[in-house]
């Protein structure tokens, strides 16, 4: 009888420990998933911003008057292209596959 009570108590304690450990792992995994989702959202926003900057640089180049404005427009366009390429590379490395990302790729092509 004593062995049964002892065994039941031990079993209950083990279940509590396992449940606590499992719950903490689930919370950690959920936290990592939420953090990854937030990072992806920020990256999409940065990509969208970089795309708009690139489009503005193209317009600035089209309407540039004189040598100074043309030089500035070219520098701005090159910088915006490099930023956009950097962000697209980061998105690819992070396996970012969303509709917004695909639409942005299509717009850039």
Instruction: Please check the confidence at residue 74 and state whether its pLDDT lies above 60.
Output: yes
Whole-angstrom distance, CA of residue 95 vs CA of residue 28: 21
Q: How many CA atoms lie within 13 A of 38 on its CB side?
A: 6
Band of the pLDDT at 61, cuts 50, 70, 90? Answer: very high
Q: Is the pLDDT at 26 greater than 60, yes or no?
A: no
Give residue 22's pLDDT band: very low, low, confident or very high (50, 70, 90). Answer: low
67 — pLDDT class (breaks 50, 70, 90):
very high
Q: How confident is the model at residue 2 (pLDDT cuts 50, 70, 90)?
A: very low
Mean pLDDT across the chain: 77
Q: Which is more confidently placed, 14 or 42?
A: 42
- State yes or no: pLDDT of 27 exceeds 70: no
Long-range Cβ contact pairs of 40-49 (< 8 A, separation 24 or more): 40/94, 40/96, 40/98, 43/87, 43/90, 43/91, 43/94, 43/96, 44/96, 44/98, 44/100, 44/101, 44/104, 46/87, 47/84, 47/87, 47/88, 47/91, 47/100, 47/101, 47/104, 48/100, 48/104
Q: Is the pLDDT of residue 70 over 90?
A: yes
- Tell me the C-alpha distance between 107 and 48, whole Å: 10
Mean pLDDT of 57-69: 92
């Amino acid at each position: 009888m004593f062995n049964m009570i002892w065994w039941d108590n031990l079993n209950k304690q083990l279940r509590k420990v396992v449940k606590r450990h499992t719950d903490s792992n689930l919370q950690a995994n959920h936290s990592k998933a939420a953090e990854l989702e937030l990072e992806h959202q920020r990256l999409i926003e940065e990509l969208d911003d970089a795309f708009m900057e690139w489009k503005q640089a193209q317009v600035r180049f089209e309407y540039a008057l004189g040598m100074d404005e043309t030089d500035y427009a070219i520098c701005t366009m090159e910088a915006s292209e490099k930023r956009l390429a950097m962000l697209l590379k980061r998105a690819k490395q992070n396996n970012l596959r969303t509709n917004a990302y695909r639409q942005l790729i299509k717009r850039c092509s």
